[in-house]
A = this chain, B = another copy of it.
Amino acid sequence: MTPSIVTAQALQEFIHSAFAQQGLPDADAAQVARLMTEADLQGSDGHGVIRLPQYIKRIQAGGINKQPDIRIVEERPAMAVVDGDNGMGHLVVSKAVDIAIEKARTCGVAWVSTRYSNHAGPASLYARRPLEHDMLGLYFAVGNANHLPPWGGMDMLLSTNPIAAGIPTDEEPPVVLDMATTVAAYGKVKAKAKRGEPMPEGWMIDREGKPLLDPNRSNEGFLLPIGAHKGYGLALIVGLLAGTLGGAAMGRDVIDFNSDFKTVTNTGQAILVIDLSAFGDPQLFKHNVDRLVRDIRDSARLPGVERIWLPGEQSHEKRARYRDGGIPVSAGVMSELHTLASQLGIPALKETAFA
């Protein structure tokens, strides 16, 4: 089935009205809607409006604080810990990034950790935010369900803990990396199951350590980390930085938010912001990144490779395309959103016909 096409504006208004109907303060509903729409706009469709029914279910189950007191609980000149009071993760992390940007302006560098936060959408949204201030961002998060055992193990004590980075450029699109520390994120496994396709070897193994290819049997196995023991180490370090350091959940304390809608997740994230101007002329830095980007893009390609991409370039192109031509929303998601709209008694998300 061909996807529906919706405008960013229609999508944002729809999400906004859903959260407002649930009793989120209007400004908060608007901010979450803006960020979720940004996720879909850049093609992070596993982290945008597809999550709305799940978020609403959690709010209705009492698993989210609709009127949180998001506040700094620990602070030094170049750092803070933000307690999200179990509010929507998008609000908590946004506040954390704003604080980090302000602190980086004076200190050159700043780190802000969150605790009692929640799932906040794609990591790149937050790593990108410092860019407009000529700052760079590094972002770490604890995933909201454990799908990864330690290397050699079977107990899923780790999540796909992502790392994201946003690096400013001058004329080129910014370099934006956003990666799970597993070969495939769990959402990709679910997508394979929905499409009835097998998984490639290397995504998952079963409890015998053998390749698991049937995505419908994914609960009988585990995700594999990138680079074997290296990805396990990375997932662990990211979890310690984003979770344990700030007093958030990690390891066996992580709540699986796909099956438990009520327990407070105590999700942790961390953002590091670096002010380029502290290191020299920001323009020179951005020029140097541009030069590197062009060196890479124009470099020799392996046989059969059409183009060498920079991290974030495909999202950048999608953003421009979807902004003009609308955002594709799959038939399955569209149908779930229609059901949600009638449950909540809000206007349905309108499909748009483009010329």
Contact = CB atoms under 8 A, between A and B. Distances in A.
Interface of A: 74-79, 81, 106-111, 113, 136, 138, 149-155, 157, 163, 165, 167, 175, 177, 179, 183, 205, 207-209, 226-227, 229-231, 233-234, 236-237, 240-241, 244-247, 250-252, 272, 274-276, 278-280, 285, 288-289, 291-292, 295-296, 299-305, 307-311
Contact of A153 (B236, B300, B304): B300
Which of A79, A279, A308 has most chain B Cβ within 10 Å?
Answer: A279
Given A79-B107, A272-B272, A153 B301 contact: yes
Contacts of A291: 251
B301 A154 contact: yes
Nearest to A292: B251
A308 B177 contact: no
A280 B74 contact: yes
Nearest to A183: B227
Given A77-B107, A79-B279, A227-B231, 9 more contacts: A77-B106, A150-B296, A153-B299, A154-B299, A157-B299, A167-B237, A167-B240, A205-B302, A246-B279
A113 B138 CA distance: 16
Contact of A107 (B107, B236, B279, B311): B107
A299 B78 contact: no
A230 B226 contact: yes
23 contacts: A78-B108, A78-B109, A79-B107, A79-B109, A109-B272, A113-B279, A136-B241, A150-B296, A151-B309, A152-B301, A152-B308, A153-B302, A155-B300, A157-B296, A163-B234, A165-B241, A177-B234, A179-B230, A183-B227, A236-B296, A244-B289, A245-B276, A245-B285
Contacts of A107: 76-79, 107
Secondary structure at the A interface, as helix, strand, loop or mixed, is mixed
B150 A278 contact: no
Given A274-B111, A302-B209, A150 B308 contact: yes
B78 A110 contact: yes
The 5 closest A-B pairs by CB, nearest first: A226-B227, A76-B108, A79-B108, A78-B78, A78-B107
A339 to B, nearest CB: 36
A234 B274 contact: no
A77 B78 CA distance: 8
Nearest to A281: B247
Contacts of A251: 291-292, 295-296
A303 B209 contact: yes
Contact of A109 (B110, B151, B231, B311): B110
A60 to B, nearest CB: 32
